[in-house]
Structure 1
Amino acid sequence: MGIFKVADGTELFYKDWGPKDGQVIWFHHGWPLTSDDWDTQMMFFLLKGYRVIAHDRRGHGRSTQTDTGNEMDTYAADVIALADHLDVKGVTHVGHSTGGGEVAHYVARAKPGRVSKMVLIGSVPPVMVKSDKNPGGLPIEVFDGIRAGVLANRAQLYIDFPTGPFYGFNRPGAVISQGVIDNWYRQGMMGGIKAHYDCIKAFSETDFTDDLKKIDVPSLVMHGDDDQVVPYADSGPLSAKLLKNATLKTYKGYPHGMATTHADVINADLLTFIKG
């Protein structure tokens, strides 16, 4: 674990575990979480001999609670700077939700040799918000509602979100884990409210279409068809179509947080892709 200071003084908390000469997998978390959201995946791959890296995005977790730079260009620049600092090459970058947007924005800008593969899990690309160009997107009012919730009572929102749509715990017959809900809340409340508020615009309004078109590394797009946070039809299939070298894997009935609720399946599929 370490702290790396980028050019504007922001300190990024990161984990870097495993053999320094091992094959590298870098995990990028969703909103408003932290690198801890990848604990299960980090341990799974660490125990198989991989070098695993994850960082807390600026404004999130143990990184600086920034009031500026809470948008995709700066998120990607932070990853570029940290990758230079760690001097990692041939990395597989795995992003969930907002983290998938960060990954796409980074991989499209990464220095030659830094990236070998990319994985998007329940990710926000190509673009979430509804518009004339994206008629299948979610209305801006949805994101305005999330912003209002952050401002009015962030703590309650960070209980309601994992209790309901994030993990599909609002579905009939769902096996609910209070520990998972509490851990989501813990991670959310570690971050800064200004950064979390700004990030809603970043994950909902950024158009990643051009990023996806530029990326030619082998890519795996994983998405649950019961994702209530990033709807399947306007995300996974469209991203896979825009990428030059992508495989779409659809998970019937899986929720947005499927890397937690179905970690055994997701980890096995990640391993197959990374080894392939």
Structure 2
Amino acid sequence: MAFVTTNEGNEIFYKDWGPKDAPVIFFHHGWPLSSDDWDAQMLYFLSKGFRVVAHDRRGHGRSTQVWDGNDMDHYADDVAAVVDHLKLRNAVHIGHSTGGGEVIHYIARHGQDRVSKAVIISAVPPLMVKSDSNPDGLPKEVFDDLQANLMANRAQFYRDIPAGPFYGYNRDGVVADEGVITNWWRQGMMGSAIAHYEGVVAFSQTDFTDDLKSITLPVLVLHGDDDQIVPYENTGVLSAKLLLNSELKIYEGFSHGMPTINAEVINADILKFIQS
């Protein structure tokens, strides 16, 4: 397995598949998952001639289970460590959910010189939690409940999320895929409880407004209108408005987990954006 050691001495696991001279796509996973959640995209884009890279965020997957630094600044710095180690240039950065926030913060914090385009999918920016400046956000109690359920019985909680709202399997007439549910649970349980607990604060309370405004490169914003985890009106739609050079696509009936269960559609739209 391949790891990058950060300046803090933490090991960040990464995958790097494909020819070294091929155009690069860097994938950023959601909470509380790992780089394995991008299987459908990494195999697809590898077959299209791309070099595909993905990492496990600190405290997630196979990366070091640190007890501190579970915030967007450290997440972005860990991405920079992988980018520097692999000497990546002109990469397209693609993030899902929390990973979409990580993409936006990485670009804003470390600059656009090494990035050509970005894609954020079902992503948390600009801000999820309700506040005076974000009156349409979700009440803080929603995220407090996530932490309470994680603390009470993480294993059961990580079964209930994918079996229910994450993939829309709680909707009438939708047939759940047991393999998808189990794979979500597997990825979640690989990670650290403390990193996931504190990660709830990172993805819900980080305000990405200024980050979004600072980015000038092309960004594709994808969201489903049946996203029960990150409601699209106050995230994807607003992010597209704040970005200077964005393209917004809302998918009717798609859930939060659309990169997995709607991979054929999502992959084709991303490829079209990259090649445009």
Give the TM-score normalised by the residue count of structure 1.
Answer: 0.99
Residue 40 (structure 2) aligns with: 40
**Aligned-pair CA distance for 1:112:** 4.7
Please give the secondary structure, in 2, of the residue aligned with 1:172.
coil
- In the TM superposition, what are the counterparts of 1:68-217 in structure 2 within 5 Å? 68-217=68-217
Aligned counterparts of 1:127 and 1:221: Cα–Cα separation in 2: 15
Give me the whole-angstrom Cα distance separating, in 2, the residues matched to 1:112 and 1:192: 31
Question: Which sections of structure 2, spanning at least 5 residues, go unmatched?
Answer: none
Q: Which residue of 1 aligns with 2:23?
A: 23
Q: Aligned pair 1:221/2:224, yes or no?
A: no
Deviation at 1:111, TM superposition (A): 4.0
Measure, in 2, the Cα distance between the counterparts of 1:31 and 1:85.
24
Matched to 1:30, the amino acid is: G
Instruction: Give the whole-Å Cα distance in 2 for the aligned partners of 1:264 and 1:82.
Output: 28
Deviation at 1:81, TM superposition (A): 1.5
The one-letter code of the counterpart of 2:187 is Q
Q: RMSD in angstroms over aligned alpha carbons?
A: 0.7
Q: Secondary structure at the match of 2:110?
A: coil
How far residue 80 of structure 1 moved from its aligned partner, in angstroms, is 1.1
**In structure 2, distance between residues paired with 1:19 and 1:252:** 36
- Measure how far apart 1:126 and its partner are: 0.1
What is the distance in 2 between the residues matched to 1:253 and 1:232? 12
Q: What letter corresponds to residue 198 of structure 1 in structure 2? A: E
Give the Cα separation in 2 of the matches to 1:10 and 1:200.
Answer: 21
**Counterpart of 2:72 in structure 1: which amino acid?**
M
Any idea what the Cα deviations from partners look like across 1:75-112, whole Å, max 9, x if unmatched?
Answer: 00111121111110101000000000000000112345
- SS of the equivalent of 1:93 reads strand
| Matched AA of 1:136 | D
Tell me the distance in 2 between the aligned counterparts of 1:156 and 1:142: 18
Q: Secondary structure at the match of 1:49?
A: coil
Query: What amino acid is aligned across from residue 96 of structure 1 in structure 2?
Result: H
Query: What one-letter code is carried by the residue in structure 2 that aligns with 1:211?
Result: D
**Distance in 2, Cα, partners of 1:226 & 1:76:** 29
| Equivalent residue, structure 1, for 2:266 | 266
SS at match of 2:213: helix
Q: Which amino acid aligns with 2:139?
A: P
Sequence identity of aligned pairs in percent? 64
Kindly indicate whether the alpha-carbon contact (under 8 Å) linking 2:112 and 2:217 is maintained by their aligned counterparts in 1: no
Taking the aligned partners of 2:179 and 2:185, their CA distance within structure 1 comes to: 10
| Runs of 4+ that moved beyond 3 A | none
Name the counterpart of 2:251: 251
Is the 2:99–2:123 contact (alpha carbons within 8 Å) kept by the matching residues of 1?
yes
Counterpart Cα distance in 2 of 1:123 and 1:144: 20
Q: Distance in 1 between matches of 2:243 and 2:151?
A: 36
1:163 corresponds to which letter in structure 2?
A: A
CA distance in 2, matches of 1:143, 1:124: 13
Q: Structure 2: how far apart are the matches of 1:211 and 1:174?
A: 37
Q: Counterpart of 2:15 in 1: which secondary structure?
A: strand
Separation in 1, partners of 2:139, 2:114? 36
Contact 2:27 2:94 in 1 (8 A): yes
Q: Deviations for 1:115-163, whole angstroms, at most 9, x for unmatched residues?
A: 0001010000000000111011000000000000110000000000000
- Letter paired with 1:235: T
SS in 2 for 1:25: strand
